[in-house]
């Protein structure tokens, strides 16, 4: 029997993830089962379960495959010494989210389900931890220009990363509930309110 390559396995997982996103978008997170994803993908139940054991694992894969690698570029900029301000990090993060086509409504639904599903909550917490670490790395050179010591810069970068993530969450919820909003307008508005 021929061996399945890593590239084939990854392509199949991507195919399943995209089918899941289509069905989740139509039915919502709560009302989409693995059986629905099987139907959407046209694959067998065994094929789905050989890649994902539950929706939490699928959600983690979607974030790790389609969102976090794009955030890695932001992290690399900071690790390369580029001065990325928190404002610019937020802008780049929100632009990445928009390009990935991850529906804000779907993200909010996953957050809601994470409140009652411990596996999904653990997956979401891991994703947010990775995101914050990437954001902290991105703004570390900026933090060094404002702090007296390396420890103070690390603390400032971590605090900025938490705030950037929270502002991103606010944007996602706003768009999910009220409809599209320009990223730059949102950031300008938030900045003007916070500076008042």
Residue 84 has pLDDT above 80, yes or no: yes
More confidently predicted of 156 and 72: 156
Topology given in CATH for the domain delimited by 1-53: Arc Repressor Mutant, subunit A (1.10.10)
- Which region among 24-33, 94-103, 125-134 has the lowest average model confidence (pLDDT)? 94-103
Mean pLDDT of the 185-192 span: 92
Mean pLDDT of the 164-193 span: 93
Please give the pLDDT value at position 196: 65
Predicted confidence band at 153 (pLDDT cuts at 50, 70, 90)?
very high
Please give the pLDDT value at position 161: 96
Mean pLDDT of the chain: 87
Please give the pLDDT value at position 100: 57
Residue 58 has pLDDT above 90, yes or no: no
Please give the pLDDT value at position 99: 62
Please give the pLDDT value at position 9: 85
Q: pTM for the full model?
A: 0.81
Query: Would you state the structure tokens that stand for residue 28, as one six-digit string?
Result: 């919502």
Residue 141 has pLDDT above 60, yes or no: yes
Residue 174 has pLDDT above 90, yes or no: yes
- Give me the residue spans of the domains in the chain: 1-53, 55-195
More confidently predicted of 154 and 61: 154
């Amino acid at each position: 029997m021929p061996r399945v390559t890593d590239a084939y396995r990854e392509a199949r997982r991507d195919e399943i993830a995209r089918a899941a996103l289509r069905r989740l978008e139509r039915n919502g997170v709560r009302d989409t089962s693995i059986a629905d994803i099987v139907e959407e993908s046209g694959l067998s139940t065994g094929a789905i379960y050989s890649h994902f054991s539950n929706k939490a694992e699928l959600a983690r894969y979607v974030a790790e495959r389609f969102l976090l690698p794009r955030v890695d570029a932001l992290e690399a900029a900071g690790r390369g010494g580029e001065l990325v301000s928190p404002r610019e990090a937020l802008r780049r993060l929100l632009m990445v989210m928009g390009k990935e086509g991850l529906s804000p409504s779907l993200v909010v639904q996953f957050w809601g389900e994470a409140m009652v599903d411990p596996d999904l909550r653990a997956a979401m917490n891991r994703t947010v931890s990775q995101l914050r670490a990437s954001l902290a790395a991105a703004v570390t050179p900026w933090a060094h220009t404002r702090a007296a010591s390396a420890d103070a810069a690390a603390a400032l970068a971590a605090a900025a990363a938490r705030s950037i993530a929270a502002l991103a969450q606010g944007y996602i919820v706003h768009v999910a509930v009220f409809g599209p909003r320009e990223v730059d307008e949102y950031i300008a508005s938030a900045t003007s309110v916070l500076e008042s």
